[in-house]
Amino acid sequence: MRNFLLLASLALLAVLVAACAPATSAPKTQSFELFMGEQITIAESETGEDEEVGEFHRWEPPVLVVNKGDTIVIHVTNPRKNVHGFAIPDYGVNTGPLEPRGGEETVQFVADRAGVFKFACNQPWDGEAGICNIDHDFMVGYLLVLDR
């Protein structure tokens, strides 16, 4: 009886370990909706009134997590008033310029290398031309490609 309980316990433990182990599923297609977000910052002025002191931009969502081997489809939109663009240089992904107020592009690629890959705006700031914004260098995010 004692041996039976021991074997039953070991079998249960094996089932639990298998259930908790990371899934090794087949590569799949993962789709994302990404856009250039904007946050307006308000602060109290010297007169005590609230005033806008800045606008900050970043990609939303700022982090994408996928598995190595997955096909990644990213639909990128630009709802902002200036031109922006999306690029993942390490993967050779680049939308080119996205027109203000609704420019969009879809990129697709296979995440064939694991690691952390930065994505960014590909349109350097030019205030007079209405391209990007002064906080261009902060318009970054990260693609995390998990090894299987």
Q: Is beta strand 29-44 parallel, antiparallel or unpaired with respect to 50-60?
A: antiparallel
Touching Cu ion, residues 49-88 (CB under 5 A): 84
Shortest distance, position 84 Cβ to Cu ion, whole Å: 4
Q: Applying CB under 5 A, which of residues 88, 132, 143, 145 lies at the interface with Cu ion?
A: 132
Closest CA to 107 of 139, 131, 76: 76
Residue whose beta carbon is closest to Cu ion = 121
**How far is 111 from 94, CA to CA, in rounded Å?**
15
Q: x/- contact string, 90-129, with Cu ion (CB under 5 A)?
A: -------------------------------x-x------
Of 91 and 119, the one with the shorter C-beta distance to Cu ion is 119
The tokens for 15 are 């089932």
> By rule CB under 5 A, what count of residues binds Cu ion?
5
Stretch that binds Cu ion, among 14-22, 43-51, 109-117, 137-145 (CB under 5 A): 137-145
Touching Cu ion, residues 13-42 (CB under 5 A): none
Q: Which residues bind Cu ion (CB under 5 A)?
A: 84, 121, 123, 132, 139
